[in-house]
Chains A and B, each alone.
Chain A
Amino acid sequence: MPESKGLIGGQYQPLSQSSIERIHQATLEIFEEVGFEVHYNKALEIFAQNGAKVDTDRKRVRLSPQLVEKTISTAPSTVVLYGREDKHNLYLEDKKVYLGTGGTAINVIDLETGEKRLSNLEDVRQIARLVDALDNIHFYLLPVFPHELPQEQIDVNRFYAGLANTTKHITGGVWHLEGARNAIKLASIIAGGYEELKKRPIISAICCVVSPLKLDKHYTELMIIVAENGIPVMVPSEALCGVTSPVTLAGDVLQVNVETLAGVIMTQLVNPGTPVVYGTVSTIADPRRMSYTSGAVEMGLINAAVAQMAQFYKIPLYATAGMSDAKLPDVQAGYEKLATSLLVALAGANYIHDSAGLLEFAMTACYEQYVIDNEINGMVMRALRGVEFNEDTLALDVIKSVGPTGNFFEQSHTVKHLRSEFFFPKVSDRLPRAEWVEKGAKDGRERAREIAKDILANHQPVPIPPEIDQKIRETISGIV
Chain B
Amino acid sequence: MADFEGMGQAILDGDADKVAELVEAALKEGVAPTEILNEGLTKGMNVVGDLFKRDELFVPEVIVSAKAMKRGTEILQPLIPREKREVSKLAILGTVKGDIHDIGKNLVKSMMEGAGFEVIDLGIDVPTETFVQKALELKPHIIAMSALLTTTMVYMKDVIDALQEAGIRDQVKILVGGAPITKAFAAEIGADGTAPDAVTAADLAKNLMGLS
Contact = CB atoms under 8 A, between A and B. Distances in A.
B59 A289 contact: yes
A288 B59 CA distance: 6
A242 B60 contact: yes
Interface in A284-311: 287-291
A287 B60 contact: yes
* Most chain B CB atoms below 10 A, which of A242, A247, A289: A289
A261 B58 CA distance: 32
Nearest to A243: B103
A247 B179 CA distance: 21
Nearest to A285: B59
B49 to A, nearest CB: 14
A291 B178 CA distance: 11
Contacts of B179: 291
A288 B60 contact: no
Interface in A261-301: 287-291
Contact of A247 (B55, B60, B196): B60
A243 B63 CA distance: 12
Contacts of B39: none
B58 A288 contact: yes
A115 B59 CA distance: 33
Instruction: Categorize the interface residue count of chain B.
Output: under 10
- Interface-central residue, B58, B196, B197, by most chain A CB under 10 Å: B58
Contacts of B59: 287-290
A108 to B, nearest CB: 17
Interface in B102-119: 103
A75 B60 CA distance: 39
Contacts of B60: 242, 247, 287, 290
A3 B161 CA distance: 63
B103 A288 contact: no
A242 B64 CA distance: 13
Interface string A94-129: 000000000000000000000000000000000000
Nearest to A288: B55
Nearest to B104: A290
Contacts of A291: 179
Contacts of A289: 59, 196-197
Interface in A237-276: 242-243, 247
Interface in A360-384: none
Nearest to A247: B60
Nearest to B196: A289
Contacts of A288: 55, 58-59
A39 to B, nearest CB: 12
A380 to B, nearest CB: 32
A290 B52 CA distance: 13
Contacts of A290: 59-60, 103
A289 B104 CA distance: 9
A164 B25 CA distance: 75
A243 B107 CA distance: 13
A289 B60 CA distance: 10
Contacts of A242: 60
A290 B179 CA distance: 11
A16 B174 CA distance: 54
Nearest to A291: B179
B58 A287 contact: yes
B18 to A, nearest CB: 23
Interface string B35-78: 00000000000000000000100111000000000000000000
A412 B58 CA distance: 61
A291 B197 CA distance: 11
B204 to A, nearest CB: 17
A110 B78 CA distance: 59
Contacts of A247: 60
Please provide the 10 A-B residue pairs with the shortest distance between their CB atoms, ordered closest to farther.
A287-B58, A290-B59, A288-B55, A288-B58, A287-B59, A242-B60, A289-B197, A290-B103, A243-B103, A289-B59
Given A242-B60, A290-B59, 14 more contacts: A243-B103, A247-B60, A287-B58, A287-B59, A287-B60, A288-B55, A288-B58, A288-B59, A289-B59, A289-B196, A289-B197, A290-B60, A290-B103, A291-B179
16 contacts: A242-B60, A243-B103, A247-B60, A287-B58, A287-B59, A287-B60, A288-B55, A288-B58, A288-B59, A289-B59, A289-B196, A289-B197, A290-B59, A290-B60, A290-B103, A291-B179
